[in-house]
Structure 1
Amino acid sequence: MDNELLRVNRLKTHYSAARNKTVKAVDDVSFSVKKGEILGIVGESGCGKSTLGKSILRLTEPTSGKVTFLGRELTGLDAKELRRMRRHFQMIFQDPYASLNPRMKIKDILEEPLIVHRLGTKAERKEVVRSMLEIVGMDDSYGERYAHQFSGGQRQRIGIAKALITKPKLIIADEPVSALDVSVQAQILNLLSDLQEAFSLTFLFISHDLGVVRYISDRVAVMYFGKIVEVSDAETLFREPKHPYTEALLAAVPVIGKGQANEAMLEGDAPDASGKGCPFYGRCTKREAVCRESEPFLDEISEGHYAACHLNNRRAIE
């Protein structure tokens, strides 16, 4: 595809655990992201969203699989080549304070990526820093301060400026507003939306907040237990979810004046990683015998809408 920026193919990130068990944080995940698109990744805590983002950028080394970005396979690059590529993809972290060096002034934090990638002269770098602070709603004087002198929302603006400073093609935003007050969340989301349009950015937006994901995403991928179980454009997914897990997530969102949207709430515990069949079997209210015996694959059930569920899978129950 000419407009494809990122392709993830059968990516796995597994960890060894006690008693010879394996934790499958990311398990056989495949998807693609188009240039200029915002793909939301949503799921409950512990489903593997953050590990997926870090594995794509090789901040966490994946166990197997391929990540192709700008036509190059990131998983096959050596350290030197990967370092050169990093200017083209950046990450916005959940905790802005933890991602900013408390001993450095903000202007130095923002200039550092430019120095690392040898971009511009000293005077040019200074101007880029000043311009980027202005773009995220801050003036040049803020560059003389330290991270502890800012509020959470201001720190996240600085984190966004740091991610944008090298003019990347792809930004992975890992829960970028979850630590912020609701009013500040709205400001940051509007800023990200404006920046995406102004700079033609591509986002992988990770969040457990369905409202946030619905607001900012073009398409949404739902993760459960290390796997993607449903993918669709945002409007269709929120209007007509096809996987019981997606339905349960949407049901858990409170409706003003009505409490919960409906009764399809999640029950039970997460599955044993060594078990067979559908990983959602133990918590699913629609399960059937086939769900215990075989794991469903992610199948296209309508144009652009994929779900890993035997109830929807065209090749499932015969």
Structure 2
Amino acid sequence: MRITDMIPRHDRLPLPRAVLGGLVASCAEHVGDVRRVAEVFGGSVSHVYRVFGERGSAILKVRGRSFSRIPGITTDPSLIRYERKALRIFRSAAPHVFPDVLAFHREHHALVLEDVFPGGRTFEDALRTAPATRADAALLGATIGLVHRETAHVDEAIREDDDLAFRDQTLWFCLESSGHPALARTAAQYRARSRRTLVLGDAAPKNTSLAAGRITLCDLDNAHLGSHHYDVGYVAAHLVLHHLPDPDLAEGLVRAFRDGYARSHPAVDPDDPIVLRTLLGVCLYRLVNDTVPYRLALSPERRREVYAVVYRLLDDPGPTLSKVTAALKEVR
């Protein structure tokens, strides 16, 4: 079979099929003779393919002129260069956690990456079949903490403007867009911090693999100089969102995650109040978002009910994780 015929057929390829076929063919240097190409779903921005060969598999990531999952949103494909830079920085600090960049095709805005997800399964895939365990959450926390600890000395921004515009965009979408005053204050607190550190930006289950006692991470499109507390709250929010049917389990997972994190990176307090407010803000962002929908096994009505409960929690001047659990039980 010709390589161009292996590429999944649909109307929104990021490049002409012949050019994309050439990129797939270039993966043979890393995987041997190409046998199969499968589209990888999960992200919203780039087109991602898993290229299988006689010696294994590699990931081909191509950024087009519009979002892969939301074609109505246009983008600059050359921005993929920032992900390449982020991967270089993070992998040099924690090589067992991040994929190696095997090739960068600047003219086609494409990366060829080491495939670090065993069996091609993400943490999100695993959560569809079984809930996470406290050991899983603790390992996740320990890994994020290790990454933060090993990059704490890095003050190199990913983007030329010192990442300020991207940080502010992130805070707007994930916190301020809900319109709640408490989240506006939280975003202002982040902006006021004089020392900024590298954050992953989107360590969601779809970008994470947990297999054989190891956590691996990919998709550093949103990495930037910010605050480690933001990452902690962001990851914890996803543990809650994917375990909404059992709020007690969700609370136990968040506590295990925070404990694992604190053991790896004691310089950052995962119990800082800003972390819980970030958790609540990210939950709002994921629950009701027509621009960038997030996949959860919840009906629209259920999403709105949970959204309302989380929004009210932010009215509390001293929300706690136990209060979050109690409130979520109201909509079980």
Same fold flag (TM > 0.5) = no
TM-score (normalised: structure 2): 0.24
Judging by fraction of residues, say which structure has more helix. 2
Normalised TM-score (structure 1): 0.25
Bigger CA radius of gyration: 1
- Structure with more strand by fraction: 1
Higher relative contact order (CA 8 A, sep 6+): 1
